[in-house]
Chains A and B, each alone.
Chain A
Amino acid sequence: MSRYPVLYVEDNADDILLLRHAFKRADILDPVQFAQDGQEAIDYLAGAGKFSDRKKYPIPRLVLLDLKLPKKTGIEVLQWIREQPALRKLPVIILSASAQKSDVSRCYELGVNAFLVKPSSIDTLGDMCRAIQHFWLSYNVFPPEGSGAAEPIPKSEDSSSS
């Protein structure tokens, strides 16, 4: 079990619930933190307000970001993240309801790492999360710094999850 969570930025409670289920089905044991609007996401990552307690709210090593958010849109959040020197290398995956070309284009321009469309079936969502776990959390080598003060431990090939 790693100390670094995955941050899921989503305003729709149903979707949050579904994701929890999907993670459970995918046997993802990484902790998941939630931010429910754009500003909260920024605060979390900045360590502002209640999120300054890093013990309770540790810096995530992966962000799952919805686009349609109140207060600040996902794209704004992404832009903010990429502007922070400490957070620039933080892997961000968009998890959006639709793949409008302009949105996708803009996100990649801003340096998003992946763009996923929320499937309507829980089964597919489960597969997707499993894939995220395998690819991003097991195989992927995280950047050495910039994902907060912590140094991630580079995983070996025979990855034992967490």
Chain B
Amino acid sequence: MACLEWLPGLNVLTVCGQMSQKSLIAEVPSAGGAAERRRLARCKFFALGAALSVLGLGVSVLGGWLFDIELLKRVHPAWATMKANSAFCFICAGFSLWLLNLKPATELKARLAQACALAVTIVGLLTLAEYLSGRDLGIDQLFIREHQAKARAPILFRMGVETALCFVFLGIALVILDVETSRGRWPSQHLVLASACVTLLGFVGNFYGVAGGYGIVSRGSVAFHTLIAFFLLCLGILLARPDRGIMANLSSDSIGGALTRRLLPAAFLLPVLVGWLSLSGEQAGLYGSAASSALFATSLLVVFGGLVSWTAHTLNRIELERWRTVESNLQLAAIVESSDDAIVSKNLDGIITTWNQGAERIFGYTAAEIVGQPISIVIPPDRLSEEPEILERLKRGERTEHFETVRKRKDGTLVGVSLTISPVKDSHGRIIGASKIVRDITERKRAEEALRRSEAHKTAILQTALDAILAVDQTATIREWNRGAETMFGYPKAEALGRKMDELIIPAEESEYYHGALVEYLATGVGSLLGRPFELTVMRREGTKFYCEFAITRNSWVEPTEYTCIIRDITERKRAEEALRESEERYRMLFNSMDEGFCTIEVLFDRNQKPVDFRFLEVNPAFEKQTGITEAKGKFIRQIAPNLEQHWFDIYGKIALTGEPARFDNPAKELHGWYEVYAYRVGRPENRHVAIFFNDITARKQMEDTLRKSEQTLEKTVAERTAALQASVAELEAFSYSLSHDMRAPLRAMRSFSQIVMAEYGEKLGAGGAELLEKVASAGGRLDRLIQDVLAFSQLAGQEIKLETVEVEDLMRQVIHERPEFQPPKADIQIQSPLLPVKGHQALLTQCVTNFLGNAVKFVDRGKQPRLIVRSEALGDEVRLWFEDNGIGIAKHMQERLFGIFQQLNRPGTYPGTGIGLAIVRKAAERMKGRVGVESEPGKGSRFWLQLPRGG
């Protein structure tokens, strides 16, 4: 880029700018560099100077004319005079030019300048008109004293045609100095250049000694100082607007300007010099005019050829550089375009000027849509204040680096971004805008977030672990201390970090062991404690010690190598282990000392899942005693007792498969005995292990057998006896049956026939006879009654009676109702209601009641009305029926015999009765699960009672 060195201010971005669709710059490259600014300032300054000098010259010449001072008119005696009008024009032009260059440019100045320029033009036009028309308009003598004017021919005072023409051109040029056509052209320059050509012609001609005017238009020659003045004026006008038209070319920093500035002097001077040289040679006689021209042409040829080639060379080099630059710029542009990041430029008003593909991708707007829009279009409303801040910093020339914020996409969604904003300067170093690199940091943010979360997660894991997790370095200094460690040992993290581990948590008695291991490790690099857990006593802050499980592992992931220690409080575990050990002990003891045989077996099945064998896994000492099998462990039962009954296998097989425990007795013939067994499944179902408790119950079984046999014998005996008993009962029944039939029949005959005899032959017998017959009949009657009572008594034994609730009161009333002898006036029987119901037998109870009532009625003093009170009394769940009479009473010693059979306590015949009545009552009461009794005293009546279970 060497050539660029002398193209100061040329900026890459300028060229880039050329690549973009709208450009910051005008037609002529101008970077606004400092050099250019200076140049422009200098031009303007020179213009001003020129204006003033022209003005001065005009003033002096006009003064010369006005005051008739030759010197001023000619300046140099050999020179022609500058005419007065010329001077006037020069004054006006100079004044105009000066006004136009004054800063600030006001309307007044412009108008005034234009007015002066107009004056100049008019003068020139009039003079030309004079020449053309050949008439004198009288203007030439305006400034000349009268006497002078008259002295000469008027035409002498007239400016030359060329001069007039120049004034016209220049005048118009000055009037329209600031006019620029729509296409950026500057019309004034053409007029100025035209007059400059004329002027130059005069100059060079003068230089070469050509006679004035070339004889073209006017006779006279143009005054030299007029020429100078014109030259200055042209220059001045051109320089007054150095950034317009061709002047721009000249003054710009571009290649064109630079070249022009270098070439223009050469282009001006060299031909003149060469011409002068050749002319001089010709004038000196060295060679003829043809040769002179040839020389001149050739020299020019060479010079210009050289200039051209040098220019071409330079241009090529520049072009090359430019192409390289363009290429690298293209590359840069491509980089910009292809960048993932959005690269956006904006101007100082915040309007977006460039928008790369990355930006399209990130924001969703295409370049066409968004260039020309304000940047705020992508700023979310809550962040709009960022933009003015950024612009402020920009204006100060500060970069904004990696500013994390949020921007808005075309679809409205927000995107997290990182902005880097740099100011963009033009060739003059002015900040004209900003370039922003916008990086979508959503992914990065997400990754950061994930990382942070993962970090937090890991930290949380460490912190929430119950175990103490430490990291120590090679010198056993604590580098990490989690919350578990804080809780376990009582040291907060701040205190623990930096301390040596053994100082903090290893108690004195362990430190030797610990240090030994540590030393060994440091010496040999091999740690006996590394990589596998070991148990250690450690110490809390307050000095209490406890058992822990220590695990140290090497952590080579960090630099320098660290060691991770995980410490678990195993106090509980130790306790549990101890308890387990104790329980093991107890179990062992039980196992060995128990009387019952105990073993565990593994049941073996054949292919069809039928249990066929089992193997002893464990047997206790009592096993041998009970079964007589020694060294059973590990052996198969089929080895020991090949003919063991199948039912053993079936049962154990079932237990192993189903898990249902079983309790049973079974014989084992080969082992000569019976066993009482309780078996259940142990361990995992698929292991098919069964535990068996058993007892040899052979002896017991034998005893049971014997017992059963004797029971059977007993039952047989009982059955036999019962049969015998039943047989005798049946005999008895038959006896009583026969009694009732066969014994009563003759009795019937006896009684009845005696009665018939008495009835039919009574008168024939007489009183004695009748009385005797009467006795026969009544004896028969007594016998009949006796037989009936005996029958009743005997029947009581055999019958099966069903006990049910009997309403005693109803029964009593019925009995009384059926017998007239129990009713008044024969007897007075009172019932004290309510009589509680009893559980008994209706018929038997009736018999009892009848007997009691009968007795009460019978055994009274002669002539006394028998009175009886019947009442009931509740005694627990039994009822006692009282029969209280006013009879003759019973002496104490008689009472025992009262209920015996055939007991008549009085002389036979005193009171009617068979003597069986109360025996029957007692028997009946017994059959009804009750009792009878009496309370009595002679002469004080009797109180008989019957106690039976209470009825429902």
- Using a CB–CB cutoff of 8 Å, the interface residues on chain A facing chain B are 12, 14-15, 17-18, 21, 68, 96-98, 100-101, 118-123, 125
Contacts and interface: CB of A to CB of B under 8 A. Distances in A.
Interface in B800-841: none
A15 B741 contact: no
B753 interface: yes
Contact of A118 (B748, B753, B755, B791): B748
Contacts of B752: 14, 18, 21, 120-122, 125
A12 B755 CA distance: 18
Max chain B Cβ within 10 angstroms of own Cβ: one of A14, A68, A101, A122: A122
B745 interface: yes
A140 B747 CA distance: 33
Contacts of A14: 745-746, 748-749, 752-753
A120 B740 contact: no
Contact of B747 (A17, A120, A122): A120
Given A15-B749, A18-B753, A120 B784 contact: yes
The 9 closest A-B pairs by CB, nearest first: A98-B740, A14-B749, A122-B752, A122-B755, A97-B741, A120-B748, A120-B784, A18-B752, A120-B751
Given A21-B756, A97-B740, A100-B740, A121 B781 contact: yes
Interface string B269-296: 0000000000000000000000000000
Nearest to B748: A120
B741 A68 contact: yes
Interface in B718-768: 737, 740-741, 744-749, 751-753, 755-756, 759
A54 to B, nearest CB: 32
A86 B744 CA distance: 36
A18 B749 contact: yes
A122 B740 CA distance: 18
Contacts of A96: 741
B780 interface: yes
Given A12-B745, A15-B745, A68-B741, 16 more contacts: A14-B746, A14-B748, A15-B748, A15-B749, A18-B752, A18-B753, A18-B756, A97-B745, A118-B748, A120-B747, A120-B781, A121-B755, A121-B781, A122-B751, A122-B759, A123-B755
B78 to A, nearest CB: 199
B748 A18 contact: yes
Contacts of A125: 752
A100 B751 contact: no
Contacts of B744: 97-98, 118, 120
Interface of B: 737, 740-741, 744-749, 751-753, 755-756, 759, 780-781, 784, 791, 799
Contacts of A21: 752, 756
Nearest to B780: A120
A86 B737 CA distance: 33
12 contacts: A14-B745, A14-B749, A15-B749, A17-B753, A18-B748, A18-B752, A97-B740, A97-B745, A120-B781, A122-B755, A122-B759, A125-B752
A97 B751 CA distance: 14
Contacts of A122: 751-753, 755-756, 759
A2 B745 CA distance: 32
Given A18-B753, A122-B751, A98 B741 contact: yes
A15 to B, nearest CB: 7
Contacts of A118: 744, 748
A104 to B, nearest CB: 13
A25 B406 CA distance: 145
A121 B740 CA distance: 15
Nearest to A12: B745
A12 B749 CA distance: 10
Contacts of B746: 14
Contacts of A98: 737, 740-741, 744, 791
Contacts of A12: 745, 749
Nearest to A11: B745
A121 B751 contact: yes
A97 B746 CA distance: 11
Nearest to A18: B752
A88 to B, nearest CB: 28
Nearest to A124: B752
Nearest to B749: A14
B612 to A, nearest CB: 66
Contacts of B747: 120
Nearest to A118: B748
A49 B740 CA distance: 34
A102 to B, nearest CB: 9
Contact of B737 (A100, A120, A123): A100
A123 B780 CA distance: 14
A123 B753 CA distance: 11
B777 to A, nearest CB: 8
Contacts of B749: 12, 14-15, 18
Max chain A Cβ within 10 angstroms of own Cβ: one of B737, B746, B748, B756: B748
A101 B791 CA distance: 12
A162 to B, nearest CB: 25
Nearest to B740: A98
A15 B752 CA distance: 9
A120 to B, nearest CB: 5
A146 B943 CA distance: 59
B503 to A, nearest CB: 112
A15 B748 CA distance: 8
B945 to A, nearest CB: 29
A121 B741 CA distance: 15
Nearest to A101: B799
Contacts of B755: 121-123
A119 B751 CA distance: 10
Contacts of B737: 98, 100
B221 to A, nearest CB: 194
A38 B423 CA distance: 156
Contacts of A17: 753
Contacts of A121: 751-752, 755, 781
B241 to A, nearest CB: 164
Contacts of B745: 12, 14-15, 97
Contacts of A68: 741
A78 B781 CA distance: 31
A44 to B, nearest CB: 23
A18 B755 CA distance: 10
A18 B784 CA distance: 17
Contacts of A123: 755
A158 B29 CA distance: 170
B774 to A, nearest CB: 13
Contacts of A15: 745, 748-749
Max chain B Cβ within 10 angstroms of own Cβ: one of A14, A96, A101: A14
Nearest to B737: A100
Nearest to B746: A14
A95 B753 CA distance: 18
Nearest to B757: A122
A140 to B, nearest CB: 25
Max chain B Cβ within 10 angstroms of own Cβ: one of A12, A15, A97: A97
B29 to A, nearest CB: 152
A116 B704 CA distance: 59
Contacts of B740: 97-98, 100
Contacts of B784: 120
A67 to B, nearest CB: 8
A29 to B, nearest CB: 20
A92 B737 CA distance: 22
A49 to B, nearest CB: 28
B91 to A, nearest CB: 183
A31 B744 CA distance: 28
Nearest to B750: A120
Max chain B Cβ within 10 angstroms of own Cβ: one of A68, A119, A120, A121: A120
A86 to B, nearest CB: 31
Contacts of B748: 14-15, 18, 97, 118-120
Contacts of B753: 14, 17-18, 122
A2 B572 CA distance: 118
A43 B755 CA distance: 35
